[in-house]
Amino acid sequence: MIKDKNYYLNKSLFISATNTDVGKTYACSKFAKFLSSLGLKVGYFKPFETGVIDNKPLDGSAMLKLVKSLNPQFDFHINDVVPYQFKLPAAPYVAKGDTILDFDFLQKKKKELEQKCDVLIIEGAGGLMVPVDKDIFIIDLIKLFQSKAILITPSKLGCINDTLLSINALKQKDIDFDFYINLYEDKDSFKEVSLPFLKDYFPKLTYLQEV
């Protein structure tokens, strides 16, 4: 699943997951460092961050600091990188309240950020089917941004169901994707509980820790 430099050049990678707290920001940092090691200039975009306290989006700020250290040309402000910031820790559809989301603006912002990098890493919110607006979900943003999807799946009990449901959703939308297992929860029992099926069902498994 891990490709060479030319594969990633001039692409955007949309990092999503099977649910919240599965490791999207961790995956963003892993891919940023990996792509930078290939000699590519990386950028970062998180259209929505919820649970923002004191006007400081923690995930977005941490990633922007990392990306700037890897690519000093990516000289954007946090409000450019995380244009929609909401206090309530909920799905964007709920957290936004009366805010009207401008998806044309988000597309323009993506193009602006892409001018300062070879690969733009886009981080979603929650899982693929988290609602952003009425009848618009995170998975729809992947299509809107014409990105390649990186699906992060957990190692905990229940990951088989979550992984298959998310993969089926991506296939139904005809979205190009790779998936990575994040060995972080129930990892001691993963080999006994979940790995036997996953290993038989998929021709190859890749772990996020290998990126």
Name the one residue in this structure whose structure tokens are 């929505």.
Answer: 48
11 tagged catalytic = no
27 marked as binding residue: no
21 marked as binding residue: yes
HSE-CB at 181 with a 13 A cutoff on CA atoms is: 24
204 marked as binding residue: yes
Nearest Cα neighbor of 45 from 93, 115, 98, 100 is 115
43 marked as binding residue: no
113 marked as binding residue: no
Point out the catalytic residue in the list 46, 110, 148, 156: 46
- What's the start-to-end Cα distance of the chain, in Å? 10
Strand boundaries in 66-146, DSSP class E: 84-85, 119-127, 131-133, 136-137
124 marked as binding residue: yes
Q: Which residues are catalytic?
A: 46
Positions at the binding site for ATP: 21-26, 123-126, 203-205
Positions at the binding site for Mg(2+): 25, 123
Positions at the binding site: 21-26, 50, 123-126, 203-205
